Amino acid sequence: MKRSRLMVWLGCGVSLLFLVLILRKVDGRQLLDALGRLHPGYLLAALVSTFASFGLRAVRWRYLLIHERPISLGSLYPAVIIGYMANNLFPARLGEFIRAWVLAERERLQTAAVFASLVIDRLFDGLSVMVMLAAVLLVLELPPGMEQTTALLHAGGVSMLLFYALALGFLVALKWRPVKTLSLLARLLKPFPAALSEKVISLCGSFLQGLKVSGHAGHLLVLAASSLGIWLTATLPIHLVLVGFGIHLPPIASFFIMVLLVFAVMVPAAPGYIGTYHLACYTGLVAFAVQPTEAVAISLVIHGIGFFPVILAGLYHLWTSGLSLSHVRRQAEAEQPPS
C-alpha cells in the first residue's frame, strides 16, 4: 500500500513539473486569445471521431471474446467508456480492471477471462503503434535540430518492441507450457511477499483459461480492420484540432504527435496523464514550428477532448447501469495483486 501511494505521489509530481514546464512559456491572456480562435465545428468533429474510436474498440473487444459467446455492443461500449473514464480519474490504470469487472458482471463472465482479452487487446494496440512508428520514421523528415527527438523515437520504438516481444513470449509460454511457466514465475517471485506471489500465480492460472483468440479468418480480419480503424479515428482528432486552429500540417505530423503521446502515457503521471500528455503534444507541435502559445492551446484542447467528455459519458453509463464509482473501484481493486 505504501509503495502504491508513493507511485501516486510520484506521478502527481511528474505531472505538475511537466505542466509548469509548458505553461511558463506562455502568457495567460495570449493563451485565452489562441483558444478563442478554435473553430467549434472542428472541435465537434474531433469529439465525434474520439467516440468513434471507442466504438471500434468495443467492436474489436467483441471479437476477442467471441470464443466465449457473442456479446452485444450495448454491453461492450459502456464498459469501454467506463474504463477510460476511470483511467482519467484513478491512478495505476485501474480503468483496465474496472472495464473488465463491469463487463464480466453485466454478462456473467469470469473476470479473469475478460481481463485476458484486454491483455490481447493491448498487444494489438502495441503492434498497431509499432506499424505507425515505422511509418513515421520512414516518411517524416524532422526539421534541423530535432536529432535528439529522432533518437528518442528510435529508442522508444526499440523499447516497445522488446516489451511486446517479452509479453508475447510469456503469453505463448503460458499457453503451451503452463506448468513450467508458472513454476518459473513462482521462483522469480520468491523475493517478494508470499501473499503477492500466491495472488499472482492464482491470477495467472485463472487468466490462462481466458487466453484464447478465435482462429476464424473472418474474425481475424475484423480484428485487423478494427485495429486500423481505432488508430485512424484516434489520430484524426489531432488533425481536426490543428485545422480548427488554422494550422495546416501534413497528416504524417498528426501520426508523429500520436506516437509521442503513446510514449507519454507510459510515463508515471497523475490520473488522466495530465502533464506528460501535454508536454508530448507540445513537443511534437513545436517541432513543426508551431508557436509556443498555440502549441499549449492545442495541447490543452486535444487532451480535454479525451478527458472531460469521456468522464461525463462514463458517469452516465455508470448511472444507467445502476453502478456507483466507488463500488466499481472497490471491486476492481479486489482483482489486483496486493501492493
Pick from 14-18, 192-196, 285-289: least confident: 192-196
Q: What is the mean pLDDT of residues 25-31?
A: 85
> Phi, psi (5° rounding) for residue 307?
-115, -70
Q: And the C-alpha cell for 18?
A: 511537466
What CA–CA distance (Å, rounded) separates 302 from 315?
21
The answer to whether 204 and 268 have CB atoms below 8 angstroms apart is no
Confidence band (pLDDT; 50, 70, 90) for 145?
A: low
Alpha helices in the chain (DSSP H): 2-23, 28-36, 40-64, 73-89, 94-107, 111-139, 147-176, 178-188, 194-209, 217-244, 251-264, 276-286, 292-305, 308-320, 325-335
What CA–CA distance (Å, rounded) separates 285 from 302?
12
Query: Mean pLDDT of all residues in the chain?
Result: 85
Q: What is the mean pLDDT of residues 289-316?
A: 95
Q: Which of 187-196, 237-246, 252-261 has the highest mean pLDDT?
A: 237-246
The interaxial angle of helices 94-107 and 325-335, nearest 10 deg, is 100
Could you tell me the pTM of the whole model? 0.84
What CA–CA distance (Å, rounded) separates 101 from 200?
17
Task: Say which amino acid occupies 128.
Answer: S
Query: What is the per-residue pLDDT for 1?
Result: 47
Task: Say which amino acid occupies 245.
Answer: F
Confidence band (pLDDT; 50, 70, 90) for 53?
A: very high
Quick count: other Cβ atoms within 10 Å of Cβ 108?
6
What CA–CA distance (Å, rounded) separates 133 from 259?
6
- Checking if the pLDDT of 261 tops 80, the result is yes
Kind plus residue range of the DSSP H or E element containing 215: none
Q: Which of 36-50, 273-287, 319-333 has the highest mean pLDDT?
A: 36-50
- Checking if the pLDDT of 142 tops 70, the result is no
Query: N- to C-terminal Cα distance for the chain?
Result: 5
Confidence band (pLDDT; 50, 70, 90) for 290?
A: very high
The answer to whether 332 and 98 have CB atoms below 8 angstroms apart is yes
Q: And the C-alpha cell for 277?
A: 500528455
